[in-house]
Amino acid sequence: MSAAVPGSTPLSAARIAAAVRRGERSAVEVVEQHLAVIAEGEPQIHAFNAVMDDQARRAAALVDQRVAAGDDPGPLAGVPLALKDNLCTRGVPTTCSSRILEGWRPPYDATVVTRLVLAGAIPVGKTNLDEFAMGSSTENSAFGPTRNPHDQGRVPGGSSGGSAAAVAAGFAPLALGSDTGGSIRQPAALCGVVGLKPTYGRVSRYGLVAFASSLDQIGPLTSTVADAAVALEVIAGHDPLDSTSVPEPAPRLVSRLDEGVDGLRIGVVTELMGEGIASDVRRRVEAAAEALGAAGAKVDDVSVPAVTYGLSSYYLIAPAEASSNLARYDGVRYGLRVDAPTTAAMNTATRTAGFGDEVKRRIMLGTYALSAGYYDAYYGKAQKVRTLIIRDFATAYESFDLLLAPVSPTTAFPFGAKADPLTMYLSDVCTIPSNLAGDPAVSVPFGAGDDGLPIGVQVLAPALAEATMLRAAIVLEDAMAREVST
């Protein structure tokens, strides 16, 4: 399978857009080349639930018409875009990789989709995911698993595995994912691409099918840090349609990428470097710390004690919110309906047939945690632990500008290797804490493990400090490029 556009060197989204805006390449040509790569590789990888060939060609022609007329189509002109299939796209099936949304076509676009299209990006398909974004391997999709382009016998991570695989395979230079407990960063690390979770509220969630509303956030997956910065500038900013949207304009990111890390204080989170983290992953994080130090940062260890309780807290809060959000899928309003003699029996039959095992597991966990007599003991206590995590991060950021940690405890694992739910949940031990805190974090590819598969390192930042975070990320990217070239 080709991992890039046939007959050419893979280009970043920013370079494609620059060429299209200058009239050096046509958007139609760009889209056709990427559709050819998809046609060749998709049967093996299964990154998409749907490929939007005709819509993409029409959109590309419109971009070219604007360029010919002397207009500027935007900073992402002609860039093929892959959209996680839990983002609403008007008139296009949006399934969340679940049977329960069978036949549903949203009557509107998610805000992020609207903003990217207005910036000239061209959606080419809806990507596969763990059902309702519940999983860390993209094995839980009702439509079959996505395969890691680096090793098709291994998972791409999850839940945004389709989006990460699409970028890694050269199907699209830009994809969107959602991150509730690591679902952008973990697959980015396993597939060797950049994955960015913004500050909670930085990007509108309007049109994202909800999993856990106090944790969900949308972000980009790209092949370069600069592309992630461009994409975040486009999708960020206040949206009155999202009540949790931060009332601030989109941040300036691209213009600050070259400011470097000289003088920045960066802490390596000790609690995320110990037991359970593979030795090859630890070595790459240590190498990243050395690279940041060589670039002028002041690097030291830092303790964030409460992160050790992140997994326990998350797996009460997230299922509780999921049980509430997924109550709407009742066979009455939209999606699948399994007929039965009574309404109650129809509800039960529809949800039994429509939801997969992992979704059912989390609904039951959440319903139990919220039930009378158990609310204070479980959900209430988990929220108190969340507050401790927020406080411990705040304390760490009093002494450090940024933090550094692994993304995934291991490289990509074989299909079926983590069939036990608890073993699978441990895949997110390093990513969950920043979701609970609401802070931004980015996964940057930083070499390979002992098995030759990609490893990502995680740069974490205080709320709304994406610009500083990306300065460190691009230093790591440059350091990795020098390491590879020598």
Give the residue among 126, 157, 98 at the shortest CA–CA distance from 42. Answer: 126
3-state DSSP helix/strand/coil percent for the chain, to nearest 5?
A: 45, 15, 40
What is the per-residue pLDDT for 333? 87
**In this structure, what DSSP letter does residue 7 have?**
T
Please report whether residue 124 resides in a domain.
Answer: yes
What is the per-residue pLDDT for 189? 98
Q: For the whole model, what pTM was predicted?
A: 0.96
What is the per-residue pLDDT for 486? 81
Please report whether residue 130 resides in a domain.
Answer: yes
Residues with a catalytic annotation lie at 84, 159, 183
Please report whether residue 359 resides in a domain.
Answer: no
Angle at 67 between CA 65 and CA 71, to 5 degrees: 105
What is the per-residue pLDDT for 10? 58
Radius of gyration of the chain (CA): 21
Q: Which residues of the chain are under the pLDDT cut of 70?
A: 1-10
How many whole angstroms separate alpha carbon 188 and alpha carbon 223?
A: 9
Give the residue among 54, 46, 52, 148 at the shortest CA–CA distance from 97. Answer: 46
Write the CATH number for 34.
3.90.1300.10
Residues forming beta bridges with residue 175, ordered by sequence position: 82, 221
Cβ-contact 304, 392 below 8 angstroms: yes
Please report whether residue 437 resides in a domain.
Answer: yes
E strand spans, 236-289: 265-269
Helices within 131-193 (DSSP H only): 161-168, 185-191
Other CB atoms within 10 Å distance of the CB of residue 152: 15
Q: Which two tokens stand for residue 484?
A: 């590879």
3-state secondary structure of 124: strand
Please report whether residue 284 resides in a domain.
Answer: yes
Please report whether residue 364 resides in a domain.
Answer: no
Looking at this protein, which amino acid is placed at residue 458?
Q
Beta-carbon contacts of residue 424 (< 8 Å; ≥ 6 apart): 135, 136, 137, 418
Please report whether residue 94 resides in a domain.
Answer: yes
* 29 φ, ψ (degrees, to nearest 5): -60, -45
What is the per-residue pLDDT for 334? 87
Domain extent at residue 451? 13-310+380-485
Q: What is the dihedral of CA 141, 54, 116, 259, to 10 degrees?
A: 90
Q: How many independent structural domains does the chain possess?
A: 1
Q: With the C-alpha atoms ordered 213, 467, 479, 164, is the resulting torsion angle positive or negative?
A: positive
pLDDT digits (tens, 9 = 90+) for 122-133: 999 999 999 999
How many whole angstroms separate alpha carbon 128 and alpha carbon 159?
A: 9
Q: With the C-alpha atoms ordered 220, 226, 227, 233, is the resulting torsion angle positive or negative?
A: positive
Cβ-contact 174, 216 below 8 angstroms: no
Please report whether residue 375 resides in a domain.
Answer: no
**Angle (deg, nearest 10), helices 466-485 and 225-235:** 160
